[in-house]
Each structure stands twice: as C-alpha cells, then as structure tokens.
Structure 1
Amino acid sequence: MRATILFFYRDRYTDTALGQGKTETGMRIRSWSGLHVLDYLETETGKMPTLLCGPIEIPIT
C-alpha cells in the first residue's frame, strides 16, 4: 500500500514530527516520526501508545 503524508508540526519537547495524508485507496492516515516519538505519544494519551489492528489495540514498544 502507498500513501502520501504531509508533515506539518514538530513538537519542541520530543522533536516529534506529525503528519497526515491519504493512502492510494483514499483512506485517511496520521503519522508520527522522530527519535522520541514514544515519549510524545505517551504524553498525549497518558498511556502506552497502541496501533489499531481491526478491533484490537497492539502496544508500540
């Protein structure tokens, strides 16, 4: 699957870049990138970050 993502924000504390875009099928996606991305995601949600795989949440470690 291919996607186009535009990164539009960088968190100063964790140096995490945030982006959003669409896949080639038109599905909307969000993306995070950076050396301290897990710190950013844990701070934003207050819990261990997860990826949604169908109805199941898979922890990112």
Structure 2
Amino acid sequence: MRELERDGRVWRTVHAVALPHTDYALTPVGKSLKTLVQDLDRWGPGRRLMGLSGAG
C-alpha cells in the first residue's frame, strides 16, 4: 500500500484515536486504472488453469 501511495494511486489517512486506524482511497490516477484492473481480473482465472507459462 505504501508503494501505491508513493506512486500517487491511493491517498492514505491515519486516524490517531484511541484505536488507531488507517483509511485508503483511490486518487484520480488510481481510479483511471479501474478498467485495466477489471480486465486483468477477467483474464486471470483462465490463465491460472494453464500454469504460469501461458501455454495451452
């Protein structure tokens, strides 16, 4: 998550309260990757069955 923050894809907000927690939100740059991530999500399951080589 820190790399995504560093690269400007997410915003990180730390809440310093009795039970500290951190919230993350997509930046506009992160939101612009939505279609790409959805495409990878659809592509991935079939590839898993073929193994890492992609042969098949």
Q: Return the TM-score normalized by structure 1.
A: 0.26
- Mark the structure with the bigger radius of gyration: 2
Larger helix proportion of the pair: 2
More strand by share: 1
Q: TM-score, normalised on structure 2? A: 0.27
